[in-house]
Amino acid sequence: MKKLLLALFMSFAFSGISYAAVDLNTATKAELEAVKGVGSAKADAILEYRKQHGAFKSVDELNAVPGFGDKSVEKMRGEFGVGKSAKK
């Protein structure tokens, strides 16, 4: 029982670790691919969009990136940030 309580306590303790959103303006291809739902093609599309258009102003701008639509952007919204909204 003590082991179970200790395991439960530890899981709660570690769940408080700060989550860092991936910054669309500084992320590498590998960092982008680490996000669920972003494979090689979508990571390349984000990098190409950033190269052509400059820094993302908001996560909503992902709608303009080929391969992303309203539904996928909404699903991944919490995974990405831009500048200060991306916790480090």
In a domain, 27, yes or no: yes
Residue 48: which residues within 8 A CB-CB, separation 6 or more?
none
Give the count of domains, the chain.
Answer: 1
In a domain, 49, yes or no: yes
- Domain with residue 54: its CATH number is 1.10.150.280
**pTM score, whole prediction:** 0.73
Element (H, E) at 57: none
Mean pLDDT for back-to-back runs of 10 residues, the chain (88 residues): 59 51 96 95 98 95 95 92 70
Give the whole-angstrom CA distance, residue 33 versus residue 52.
Answer: 20
Tally of residues, the chain = 88
